[in-house]
Structure 1
C-alpha cells in the first residue's frame, strides 16, 4: 500500500504502459531521501537506453563550470536561500535539449514539489511529450532513517554510495570502484536526518498524491534488494523479465 501525503494507505493508479511506443519515454523517480532513487534511476537508464538526469548532478556541474545558470544558482545558495523553481526548471530544460534526451530520460531529484511537477508537464508538452509514469519507491520513514544514518559516500566524481550494514565496502573506508576515501555527510547524522525527513517528506507525499490523481503513479515496495526493486520497476513499465544491463562503475 502506498503512503500518500497523510501517510494513509492508498492504491496506486493502474494504467497500461506502452512498451513499443517510439515516442520519447520520460519517467520521474519519486521517494524520500535514502529510498534509492539515484541507484534505481541509473539501472533503469541502462535498461531503457535513456539518460539518467539528476538535478543534483546538474547543479553541481553548473556551479563547477561557472555557467550563467550556475552563477544565478550560486547567488541564492550563498545566502542560504532556496533556488527558485524557475531556475531549476531552466536547468532541467537545458539538459533535455541535449541530443541523448530526445528519446526520453529518467528524472531523478526533480520534481520535488507539485509546482515543479506542473512545470515539468508544461516543459515536456512543448516538446510534444509527457511523463509516462512516476515511479514511487515506497520506503517507511523509520527505514529511511536507518539507511541514511549508516550511509557513506566516496569522494570520487561518481559519489558511489555504501552502507555500513547493508552495503559495506570491501576495504573499510575505501571505495571499491575508484579507490577514493569514503566520507559521511554532516546531514547523514540521525538528529539532522529526522529534521530533514520532517521537511522533505510532506512535499514528497504531495507529489505522490499529484501523480496518483493524474493516473501516472506506479508504486513499488522499496525495502527489498536493489535487484528486486529494479525488477519490480521494470515490470511496472512494461519491461518485465528483461534483465537490466550492469551499470558501469556500480555494484549491483
Structure 2
C-alpha cells in the first residue's frame, strides 16, 4: 500500500514523476484543483460550500478544503493507494490530513520531496510555454513538441508563455512557495516518513530513485 505526498517547488518535476508512479502502482491521483471542480460540478454539499467562497473571490477555508479531501479519500478508488497533489500546503493542513487519514484508516506511507536548486527552477519555469488551444505544456529544454511549432496533442500552431512563467515573476513565486514548503518538510521529517530525491537528474533517474523508495513498502 502506498499513500503518498510529493513535495517540491513549482517546476521540480512533481507532475512528471507522479504520472509514472500512477502508471506503475495504479494509484488514485488526487489533485485539489480537480477535486474542487468535480465537487462543484456534482453540486455536492462541500462543493457548494467551496463555490460560495470562490464566487465571492475569497480563499476557501482550510476546514472546507479538508472536508473535500476527506470526501475524496473516502471513495473506493483510493483503497489501493493514492498520491495527493496540492494538499497539504501548510502544517495546519498537514495536521488536518493526519486526522482524516486516521479516521479513514488510510495513513500516509511516504512523503517524497524533490530537491532542485532555485536557479535551475528559474531556468526550467522560464522555459515553459503552452498551447493556446488545448493548454498542453512544453519546455524549451526538456519537453519540446515532436514537430517544431505544432502541438502534439491538438495540432495547433499557436503557443504562449504565461505571465507567471516569466523569470522575475518566477523568482518571487519560488520564494513564496519555499516559505510554505520548508515547514512541511520539517513536519514530515519529524514524523519519520520524509525522503528526499535529487530532482535535478533526468526524469528517468528521478523516477528510478523515487521508485526505489516506494518499492520498500
- Quickly say closer, same or farther: Cα 1:156–1:56, change in 2 above 3 A: farther
Who is 1:246 aligned against?
none
Change (3 A) 1:101 1:153: farther
Equivalent residue runs for 1:62-211 within 5 Å: 62-63=39-40, 67-154=44-131, 159-180=135-156, 181-211=158-188
Query: Which residue of 28, 46, 61 maps to 2:23?
Result: 46
Secondary structure of 2:125's counterpart equals helix
C-alpha spacing 1:87/1:172, structure 2 compared with 1 (3 Å): farther
Say which of 190, 193, 199 aligns to 1:213. Answer: 190
Distance 1:71-1:152 versus aligned 2 partners, 3 A rule: farther
Structure 1: gaps spanning 5 or more residues: 1-23, 241-252
Shift of 1:125: 0.5
**Segment drifting more, 133-142 vs 86-95:** 86-95
Normalising by structure 1, report the TM-score: 0.77
The alpha-carbon deviation at position 179 of structure 1 amounts to 3.0
Match of 1:232 in 2: 209
The whole-number CA distance in structure 2 between the counterparts of 1:128 and 1:65 is 26
Query: RMSD over aligned Cα, in angstroms?
Result: 2.3
Give TM-score scaled by structure 2 length: 0.88
Deviation (angstroms), 1:82: 2.5
Q: CA deviation at 1:66?
A: 5.4
1:183 shift after superposition: 3.9
Deviation at 1:85, TM superposition (A): 1.3
For the Cα contact (< 8 Å) 2:101–2:108, is it kept in 1?
A: yes
Whether contact under 8 Å (1:31, 1:204) holds in the other structure is yes
**1: CA distance, partners of 2:116 / 2:13:** 9
Could you tell me whether the CA contact under 8 Å between 2:2 and 2:214 is conserved in 1?
Answer: no
4+ long deviations beyond 6 Å? none
Residues 51 and 104, structure 1, Cα contact 8 Å, conserved in 2? yes
Give the match for residue 59 of structure 1.
36
What corresponds to 2:10 in structure 1?
33
Corresponding residue pairs, total: 216
